[in-house]
A and B are shown apart, each in its own frame.
Chain A
């Protein structure tokens, strides 16, 4: 019996009450607390998926690496470029869309219309009939935006000539491009899949007149770091999905002096300034770009169960995991609950979830940061306490706390980040996601939230176990 009478002070593994581990620490005994959880009591299959022994440790280690891409990333706005020059594989006759991959035949009307709009905008077809013929011939390559280095907010229609905001993660060198809001046309071509002469003209003006000014401005200051703006705005009432009121102002404060310092025609500068300040939620695309660069950095981390994509195409909803790059795990798209912009709208007008903007939830904002924005919560009838409870709930399915986001309403606890598919199965808690509600006919009709369907996580972990064993 090695420990009796040997004079050796035993080291202890504590399984259970934390106070007993603290008591050992107080005695200066080498002790460790085991993070024991009761076995899952849900379905047999989930129980089997979670019964993984040592694999769990590998997952934990991998998830630490994956989540460090979020926490330690350094996203900087560096450029404005045509989509074709920055998005991988975005050649002629290629159109990106939001959500998991889907073919033209099964798309919702918004996406179908977007495909046609894309052909017209790029001049691949003269009219709608020709565009449809082109699409049906199979010549048009249709891809999911999240299978490339961009994000498809709304319908996410992106073709090579659209001017994109380019964010670079200076920690990893990864680049992501996101499309800016289209001024008075708001969602316009990219977000809403609309096409008209006026929209095309607006995209041209953006590309040739406003964005070059912004490009010159941002390059004159050596790039604009995004993380400090996100961090500060998260203490000012933004959760940076539904609300960017503070981040817009912080962004303006940084970029406007640089614009005015340019040696350019005053009218041209003012046009760019008006575009920036008059477009609501202008900063949204920067937050998405920053999130996307981090998640691209995490993608491909072997053994990681961190969620790197959460999106819908109006039909299906899909997620991706860092350890299973390129693979989608889908379920029927959920309906969002929230407030309509007009009392005349009902659920009948509403499209199931469409868009990729939950990339910000994957980063730890939006629904995960519900406590940071009681204003957004109140939109859905939530009290501050409900918002706090939501963020606390989200902590249970997250890998880490993000020291960049100390949150006043949580008494400066760091907001959670990095959704772990394993914890989702263990707890039965699925991620809370914020978003805009789309009309079947197009256009935003409200804002609200939903939960990612559990089915996505079950399918993902099924594949994960197939690939990684355990």
Chain B
């Protein structure tokens, strides 16, 4: 069928028009597409092709003509309009919540404004009955308390501030991964921590009912775990959830007690990981305690299946890999450099090294009980572990999950340092983060290999789901093709790196 549209007094130069028709011709089901000014010559041409051109169309008028099967002609016209309009920079915009809500209902407000403005918008959203996911940080604690209290009183979720990931009703928010549906419900105060647990659960063949984020400060005494307790009660009531996992860094003792006591009241099995906590934390509680993110995931799956799934390196495998790597190093190579982008991953790594690498001082940009603060965060010293997503770095450059340049530059410098033997990296995938988190690293790694050969060890883990747009299996295989050891989890990365650090220390 043939279709024709005349646009009066619309001038488009002939070169542009060529590209307009060319693109439309590539549309499926299109036999022909013409975009021409209606000069006498073009009119004749169109007539010969069987188009009927309006008699009063003239040289100042633009003619779009298309021929195709079914709705092919209509689609070709659409494609031509689209090409003609590609220079348009404006579309229908909403400036206020009320304006958007007047046109259609919404359930969640996702807020990532600068902290000073985020609170006001969140309160507006809550007042209009929306749940809030707030990625923003730098929101005052009093404001967080006010928002969470209001939300809890009104049966709404206030996820955040400083909430990195969530998955609600199958919709992945923030910097999270798209997780398969399943029986494990998660309440997470630490973004990358909750995501790691969820992704490992998924890799073990299970799925996630809901992943409720609370924001990093929910267990601070000022907030008192409002969102975490609200979250676990919601999961208790949710029919799909069979096991609940709580994920956080260790916090104030009183709040930990309160949260654990709240978990006691639930009928469902609860697995909890509070990074930095010890056995004593869980003593006297019914909660299934875990001490690493992967352990929490494994125990959650075990709670579902009645037996623990196999995961990560066996001791033999670990020994074999370590022995192979140790043969590569020259005399001057002694040190580890951990270049993390996930805050919880850094913490989990540090906890592991502190426990398993006795007598090895660790330097970091962070101020923690596990590390010595670097004099200059730009210059690594001996064994250094960096959180490149921490505020001292992100104040100067975008967070590395969005924009890898900062971490790539740092990797280049570490690989140029002849005292470095091992570098660890974590990668995070998901629809909200960089579309190719590893691509630019591969070139840098190849460049270093060209200079130093295969004399150093790169260890990486990819926190992501097979449903993420980045294609996680290919991300892993591209890293492996570049000679990177890709582990099953952040914890496994730390295991292998710790094994190498210890061996290097003992090598005289």
Q: A-side interface residues toward B, CB under 8 Å?
A: 1-17, 19-20, 22-24, 26-27, 29-30, 32-39, 53-54, 56-57, 60, 74, 76, 225, 227-229, 231-232, 235, 395, 399-401, 403-404, 406-407, 410, 412-414
Q: Which chain B residues numbered 104 to 142 have a C-beta less than 8 Å away from chain A?
A: 104-114, 117-118, 121, 125, 130-131, 135-136
A26 is contacted by which of B108, B112, B118, B431 (Cβ under 8 Å)? B431
Given contacts A16-B135, A16-B136, A17-B135, contact A5 B210 (CB under 8 A): yes
**Chain B 1-21 interface 0/1 with A at a Cβ cutoff of 8 Å (1 = within):** 000000011111100100000
Bound together, the chains give a CA A56 to CA B95 distance in angstroms of: 8
**Listed residue (B60, B85, B98, B157) with the most chain A CB atoms within 10 angstroms of its CB:** B60
CA distance A52 to B348 in the complex (A): 48
Contact A5–B238 (Cβ < 8 Å): yes
- 1/0 contact string of B312-336 vs chain A (CB within 8 Å): 0000000000000000000000000
B112 with A413: CB separation less than 8 A: no
Q: Do A403 and B84 touch across chains, with their CB atoms under 8 A apart?
A: yes
> Smallest CB–CB gap between B152 and chain A, Å?
11
Contact digits for B458-496, partner A, Cβ 8 Å, 1 yes 0 no: 000000000001000000000000000000000000000
| B170 CB-CB contact with A under 8 Å | yes
Binary per-residue interface labels of chain B (50-78) against chain A in the complex, 1 for a CB within 8 Å, 0 otherwise: 00000000001000000000000000000
Sample (8) of A-B pairs whose CB atoms are under 8 Å apart: A10-B106, A13-B106, A23-B172, A27-B431, A36-B121, A39-B117, A403-B87, A410-B87
Cα–Cα distance between A37 and B114 once the two chains are bound (Å)? 11
* A67–chain B nearest beta-carbon distance, Å: 9
What residues of A have a CB within 8 angstroms of the CB of B170 in the complex? 9
> Which residues of B lie under 8 Å from residue A37 when comparing CB positions?
95
Taking chain B's interface residues, is the majority helix, strand, or loop, or is none over half, making it mixed?
Answer: loop
Question: CA of A30 to CA of B89 in the docked complex: distance in angstroms?
Answer: 22
Chain A residues near B210 (CB, 8 Å)?
A: 4-5
Contact between A1 and B157, CB atoms less than 8 A apart: yes
Return the contact of B155 from the options A1, A34, A53 (Cβ within 8 A).
Answer: A1
How many A-B Cβ pairs are below 8 Å? 191
Shortest distance from the beta carbon of B95 to any chain A beta carbon, whole Å: 5
**A12-B112 in contact given A27-B178, A414-B87 (Cβ < 8 Å):** no
A35: which B residues are within 8 A, CB to CB?
93-95
Select from chain B the residue with minimum beta-carbon distance to A228: B11
Which residues of chain B are within 8 angstroms of A6 by Cβ–Cβ distance? 169
Return chain B residues, CB-CB under 8 Å to A36.
Answer: 95, 113, 117, 121
Known: A6-B169, A16-B113. A11 touches B105 (CB 8 A): yes
B155: A residues at CB distance < 8 A = 1
* A401 adjacent to B89 (CB under 8 Å): yes
Q: Which of these, B87, B109, B240, contacts A15 with CB under 8 Å?
A: B109
Measured in the bound complex, the distance between the Cα atoms of B118 and A231 in whole Å is 44
B121's contact among A8, A15, A32, A404, by CB below 8 Å, is which? A15
Which A residues touch B8, using CB under 8 A?
74
The residues of A that contact B174 with a CB separation of less than 8 Å are 20
Chain B residues positioned under 8 Å from A76 (CB to CB): 9
B96 at interface (Cβ–Cβ under 8 A)?
yes
Q: Whole-angstrom distance between the alpha carbons of A17 and B110 in the complex?
A: 9
Contacts of B10 in A (CB 8 A): 227-228, 231, 403-404
* Cα distance, A16 to B139, chains bound together (Å): 15
Q: Is B173 an interface residue (CB 8 A)?
A: yes
Q: B124 — nearest CB in chain A belongs to which residue? A: A15
Chain A residues near B204 (CB-CB < 8 A): none
Tell whether, in the assembled complex, residue B135 and residue A227 are in contact, meaning their CB atoms are under 8 Å apart.
Answer: no
Q: With an 8 A cutoff between CB atoms, is B237 at the interface?
A: yes
Q: Known pairs A13-B101, A13-B109, A228-B11; list 20 more (Cβ under 8 Å).
A: A3-B131, A5-B239, A10-B168, A11-B105, A13-B100, A15-B110, A16-B135, A20-B110, A20-B173, A27-B171, A29-B171, A36-B95, A39-B117, A232-B13, A401-B89, A403-B88, A406-B12, A406-B87, A413-B87, A413-B89
Given known contacts A4-B238, A7-B169, A13-B106, is B432 in contact with A38 (CB within 8 Å)? no
Task: Identify which of A13, A24, A30, A400 contacts B97 (C-beta below 8 A).
Answer: A13
A232 to B11, Cβ gap below 8 A?
yes
A1 to B234 alpha-carbon distance, docked (Å) = 8
> In whole Å, how far is A13's beta carbon from the nearest beta carbon of chain B?
5
**Which residue in B89, B110, B131, B237 is a CB contact (below 8 Å) of A395?**
B89
When chains A and B are docked, how far (Å) is the Cα of A3 from the Cα of B171?
11
Q: Tell me the minimal C-beta distance from A197 to chain B in angstroms.
A: 42
Contacts of A5 in B (CB 8 A): 209-210, 234, 237-241
Q: Is B338 an interface residue (CB 8 A)?
A: no
- Cβ–Cβ < 8 Å partners of B172 in chain A: 23, 27
In whole angstroms, how far apart are the Cα atoms of A412 and B13 in the complex? 12
Residues of A within 8 A of B430 (CB): 23
- Pairwise interchain contact A406-B95, C-beta atoms closer than 8 A: no
Residues of A within 8 A of B241 (CB): 5
CB distance from A333 to the nearest CB of B (A): 32
**Contact present for A34 and B95 (CB under 8 Å):** yes
Give Cα A412–Cα B107 distance, bound, in whole angstroms. Answer: 39
Q: How far is the CA of A35 from the CA of B92 in the complex (A)?
A: 10
Q: Are A32 and B238 in contact (CB under 8 A)?
A: no
Question: How far, in angstroms, from A2 to B155 measured CA to CA in the complex?
Answer: 9
Q: How far is the CA of A7 from the CA of B210 in the complex (A)?
A: 11
Q: Is B99 an interface residue (CB 8 A)?
A: yes
A20→B135 contact, CB < 8 A: yes
Q: Which residues of B contact A32 (CB under 8 A)?
A: 94, 100, 104, 106
List 10 A-B pairs, minimum CB-CB distance, nearest first.
A16-B112, A23-B431, A10-B107, A5-B238, A228-B11, A231-B11, A414-B87, A23-B432, A35-B93, A17-B112
Which of B84, B94, B102, B178: most chain A Cβ within 10 A?
B94
Q: Once the chains are docked, how many angstroms separate the CA of A23 from the CA of B402?
A: 12
Measured CB to CB, the closest approach of chain A to B230, in angstroms, equals 9
> Contact string, B323-355, partner A, CB cutoff 8 A, digits 1/0?
000000000000000000000000000000000
- Closest B residue, CB atoms, query A171: B8
**Does any Cβ of A come within 8 Å of B265's Cβ?**
no
Given contacts A9-B170, A26-B469, A414-B88, A404 and B11 within 8 Å (CB-CB):
yes
B54 shortest CB reach to chain A, Å: 15
Nearest A residue (CB) for B133: A12
Q: Is B367 positioned at the interface, with any CB of A under 8 Å from its CB?
A: no
Contact B173 A12 (CB under 8 A): yes
Residues of A within 8 A of B239 (CB): 5
Instruction: Using A57-B99, A60-B93 as known contacts, say yes or no to A9 and B169 having CB atoms under 8 A apart.
Output: yes
Q: B9 touching A74 by the CB < 8 A rule?
A: yes
Contact of A53 among B94, B96, B107, B114 (CB under 8 A): B96
Measured between alpha carbons, how far is A34 from B125 in the docked complex, in Å? 12
A7: shortest Cβ distance to chain B, in Å?
Answer: 7
Do residues B169 and A54 form an inter-chain contact, with CB atoms below 8 A? Answer: no
> Is B432 in contact with A20, judged by CB distance below 8 angstroms?
yes
B211 to chain A, nearest CB (A): 11
Quick check: A30 and B121 within 8 Å, CB to CB?
no
Contact between A12 and B110 (Cβ–Cβ < 8 Å)? yes
- A413 and B87 CA atoms in complex are apart in Å by 4
Expressed in whole angstroms, the Cα–Cα distance for A425 and B469 within the complex equals: 41
A34 touches B13 (CB 8 A): no
**Known: A10-B108, A12-B106. Contact between A401 and B87, CB under 8 A?**
yes
Q: Name the contact of B88 in the complex, choosing from A8, A225, A401 (C-beta under 8 A).
A: A401
The CA of A407 and the CA of B239, in the complex, are separated in Å by 58
- B90 proximal to A (CB < 8 A): yes
Q: What 0/1 readout, one digit per residue, does chain B (365-386) give for beta carbons within 8 Å of chain A?
A: 0000000000000000000000
Q: By the criterion CB–CB under 8 Å, are A38 and B117 in contact?
A: yes
A39→B117 CA distance, assembly (Å): 9
Is B283 in contact with chain A by the CB < 8 A criterion?
A: no
Residues B113 and A15 in contact, CB atoms below 8 Å apart = yes
Task: Please indicate the chain B residues that have their CB under 8 angstroms from the CB of A29 in the complex.
Answer: 171
Enumerate chain B residues within 8 angstroms of A11, measured Cβ to Cβ.
104-108
Instruction: Please indicate the chain A residues that have their CB under 8 angstroms from the CB of B104 in the complex.
Output: 11, 30, 32
B48 adjacent to chain A (CB < 8 Å)? no
Contact A4 B121 (CB under 8 A): no
Distance (whole angstroms) from the CB of B409 to the closest CB of chain A: 22
Query: Is the Cβ of A24 less than 8 Å from the Cβ of B11?
Result: no
